[in-house]
Amino acid sequence: MIESIKEQIKKILEDFYKKQYNATISIVVEEPKNIELGDISVPMFSVVKTLRKPMPQIISEAIPVIQTASDAIQSISNVGAFINLTIDKKLLAQEVLKNVILLDSSYGNSTLGVGKNVTLDYSAPNIAKSFSIGHLRSTMIGNSLNLILKKCGFNTFSINYLGDWGTQFGKMIVAYQKWGDFDKIKKNPIKELTELYVRFHEEAEQDPSLEDEAREAFRKMELQDAEYLELWRWIREESLKESVQIYDLLDITFDSYNGEAFYNDKMEPVVLELESKNLLKEDQGAKIVDLGEDIPPALIKRRDGGSLYITRDLAAIFYRKKEYKFDDILYVVGNEQKLHFTQLKRLIEKMGYDFSDHIEHVNFGLYLTNGKKMSTRKGGVVKLYDVLMKAIQMAYQLIEEKNPTLQNKEEIAKSVGIAAIVFADLKNHRSLDIEFNLEQSVKFEGQTGPYLQYTGVRIASILKNKTFDIDHTNIDIFEQSHYFELVKQISLFQSTIEKSAIERAPSILAKYLLSLAQSFNKFYSIEKINVEDECIRNSNFALAKATRIVLNEGLRLLGIKYVNEM
């Protein structure tokens, strides 16, 4: 409700200045830095600057206009250039709580994206390599954005663009031919193949000719060499088994698993189109597209005729445009791929298509261990499955200590352990590098997923076997700051979801949930909830119920399960 009042104030003031002075002025509506000044603040500097009128005159004109924005505005005053508003706390509380309890998990639903299609490309592990902790970022950021966008009314299509083609498979084949033992590999495919991949890079440092052998092996794959393709298919199937195991644990599904190999027969038409539009040039035997002086040219075909990642991405984007009719396409890929997506957008633009501005690189930072990047090539990978199992084990031990008689400890520990890992990622802004710390993540206090789950469990315990009447409450108590602060937090849920969607940042929602949980726990430390007075008890139960609805739905949007006991 507060957000809708803010939007209304912005609209009516901008309309007023347009009509009265024919002036286009962007009005800022915010919260005062000092909460004692009110609930909403409107700085008038931009109006004074544009209209060149004295501040007192601007203030006196604006106040009557603002007053018409909502019946919930209780009082208006000004301090200097700021017009400050106080909201009728009782009216707000009554409306918010009834709304949340009526809508339940639908509370916060938005029409922001109704009628729009968004394609999301995320997770995308490379086959023949272990699914590492590094892949968690793309997987969980992408999954959360998918859920958030759906909540905002977008039609979404989630794509797991598997890294199942490219020169790395030439490297794998060369390593297998030189040092592989099929019987050994068959017993533990991903472990043995990863070790072969690491050995290839160690050997290639001493013998660079191995890189040429790998390129030749991949060229044979592209020429449909039967022996190589049979080995590739087996590696792909074994790799997918490990990936599916991870996705099942995380409760993640995709609309498509079409990887790079899917586009092998779709690249040539794109290359021919580049040629027909006189964009393709020869450079030392390779085929390139000049993208301007500010970025390097895009390498479309190698000298030996082999395809490249960007060629497959071009084929993929045209296929997805036709298949999904996307309005926006999001690539949830690491910071280090910034140049690649800059080139991809420029290529689409030079080809004459108008959707280049709707290609968005949703970048993210690295997971670090001791300040260093993990590297498959050097064998420095931490397997995600192992991390999840360790987190679940640690969660089980904590639950055993705190609540040894709890039923279904294994299932609850699974939800808590996974929540710990997922939230530790999503609470950070995606662009930042993260130092991985498992022990800190699994704690039941502090800025952790288990803390949010535990807050929900506390509320579930309070409400267990309780009934209340939302129509018989004491709304006077919401004048108190700790009551109103919680109501205010709850009222911001939809706008927080929309901001998370617009900025492609699940961290905004994650931090909001931490604030909500902290506000509730502060309230809980001050107030006895199950009191004798029926109307106050109804108010307390309604507030607790609304908090839990928002907390549970917020966790769901982050890809985290809520629990009823811990």
CB burial of residue 273 (10 Å; 0-12, 13-18, 19+): middle
Q: In what order do the strands lie in the sheet with 82-87?
A: 40-43, 82-87, 73-79
Whether the pLDDT of residue 552 is over 70: the answer is yes
Q: What token pair was written down for 7?
A: 């939007």
pLDDT at 378: 52
CB atoms closer than 10 angstroms to residue 411:
11
Least confident span in 54-68, 90-104, 229-243, 526-540? 229-243
Q: What is the pLDDT of residues 194-232, one digit of tens each?
A: 888 889 999 999 999 999 999 888 888 888 889 888 888
Q: Report the range out of 191-205, 232-246, 329-343 with the highest average pLDDT.
A: 329-343
Q: What is the pLDDT of residues 251-302, one digit of tens each?
A: 999 999 999 999 988 999 999 999 999 999 999 999 999 999 999 999 999 8
30: which strand partners?
Answer: 41
Q: What token pair was written down for 397?
A: 């031990």
Residues in Cβ contact with 284 at an 8 Å cutoff, skipping those fewer than 6 apart: 303
The pTM of this model reads 0.91
Q: What is the pLDDT of residues 484-524, one digit of tens each?
A: 999 999 999 999 999 999 999 999 999 999 999 999 999 99
Cα 370 to Cα 421: distance, rounded to the nearest angstrom: 18
